[in-house]
Amino acid sequence: MQQESVQIQKNIVETAIASGEFNTLVAAVKAAGLVEALSSPGPFTVFAPNDAAFSKVPKATIDSIMKDKAKLADILKYHVISGKYMSSDVAKTSSLKTLQGSDLSVDTSKGVKINDANVIKADIVCSNGICHVIDSVLVPK
């Protein structure tokens, strides 16, 4: 009898931790107390800035925001959409409503841009949604 290999998908937080390229994002999610929320069934779509994206932000700015839990949570929620949006779904819209309450603009004229951030890796499927890697940190206005 042949044994079936069942691969259990990781949730968004587990996926970010396992990849090793989201250390700052994971630290921010933990500091903001959002691990449980982003580990819940969702589904969620996350525009996830990698460590290179965070390196563009001055360290003093990151240190300051990490100490302000409410502001940090606000910024992180600005990267999250309720629902499961594959890149093909994102490409069909011009804006997306974030969990923070503001809209993100979508521009597909040259690749895919979310506000001023480029999507550099799309459609990372997780057990509770989708991650798209972006090259800049999004900040609500």
Asked if residue 6 belongs to a domain, the reply is: no
Asked if residue 140 belongs to a domain, the reply is: no
Asked if residue 98 belongs to a domain, the reply is: yes
Asked if residue 37 belongs to a domain, the reply is: yes
pLDDT of residue 141: 84
Asked if residue 26 belongs to a domain, the reply is: yes
Asked if residue 2 belongs to a domain, the reply is: no
Summarize the chain as % helix, strand, coil (round to 5). Answer: 35, 25, 40
For the chain, what is the domain count?
1
Q: Describe the crossing of helices 23-31 and 12-19 by its angle, rounded to 10 degrees.
A: 140
Asked if residue 139 belongs to a domain, the reply is: no
Which residues pair with residue 125 across a beta bridge?
Answer: 130
Cβ neighbors of 5 (< 8 A, separation 6 or more) are none
User: What CATH number did the domain enclosing 72 receive?
Assistant: 2.30.180.10
Cβ neighbors of 66 (< 8 A, separation 6 or more) are 27, 28, 31, 72
Asked if residue 4 belongs to a domain, the reply is: no
pLDDT of residue 9: 87
pTM for this entry: 0.92
Which residues span the domain enclosing 125? Answer: 12-134
| Local confidence pLDDT in tens for the 141 residues of the chain | 455 555 568 999 999 999 999 999 999 999 999 999 999 999 999 999 999 999 999 999 999 999 999 999 999 999 999 999 999 999 999 999 999 999 999 999 999 999 999 999 999 999 999 999 999 999 998
